[in-house]
Amino acid sequence: MKKLIKIFFIFVVIFTTSLSLAVEKEQNIQNIYKLLQEKKFEESIKNLQILSEQNDINAQLLYSKILFSGDLTPQDFENSYFWGFSALLGGLKKSSIILDKLNEYLTEEQINEITIKLREFLEKKAFQKDKKAIIQIAKIYETFTEPPDLINAYTWYNIAVAKGIKTAKPKRNEILDSLNEKDLLEAQSLSIKLFKKIND
């Protein structure tokens, strides 16, 4: 009975913490919109950049749009792509609209360089215990690397599953069937190494 109470208590703490973080993020983005309405553009851009660097995907998409339009800050297509791409990897599918527009202005080489920078940014976030970043990295390797890097995609999905991200399990298992024994051994060894690094 004590064990059940303890498990329930842990669940409540985790759920409450997640809920309060979600509410806080929603309040942060609402504060940005309030600053924009008040025409406090410099402050709103600064706060938007901070939230984007914290891997808030809603802030990233808004920041991407502002950088694309150039209405409140000079146009910056590379950074617009960077943040829009991060938001897309985080699950905001509507980000693909701005990325499609940016594809008209950026070369394939520029996009490849942005992808590498974004992967490095997300790896840093993952090592700072950002669970969402783990999935975002896996998606880069699976879908946005040419050809797909299945060893690294499996590695990061495997870490995501170990970190309790249930949506990663079908993806991990799907890629598992595509790897030969040698590649699977390499991917699993890398998973264990990176998992330990994330947990340190």
Mean pLDDT of the chain: 88
Whole-number Å distance between alpha carbons of 44 and 2: 49
**Using CA atoms, how far apart are residues 58 and 63, in angstroms rounded to an integer?**
9
Q: Which two tokens stand for residue 122?
A: 């997300």
Task: Give the mean pLDDT of 132-146.
Answer: 96
- CATH level 3 topology of 1-106: 1.25.40
CB-based contacts of 101: which residues, under 8 Å, 6+ apart? 68
Confidence grade of residue 20 (pLDDT, cut at 50, 70, 90): very low
* Residue 113, phi then psi, degrees to nearest 5: -65, -40
User: Alpha-carbon Rg of the chain, whole angstroms?
Assistant: 19
Q: What pTM was estimated for this model as a whole? A: 0.82
Instruction: Label residue 25 by pLDDT band (50, 70, 90).
Output: low
Every domain of the chain and the residues it spans: 1-106, 115-200
Tokens of 127: 């090592």
Q: What is the pLDDT of residues 47-63, one digit of tens each?
A: 999 999 999 999 999 99
Distance (Å, whole) CA 169 – CA 157: 7
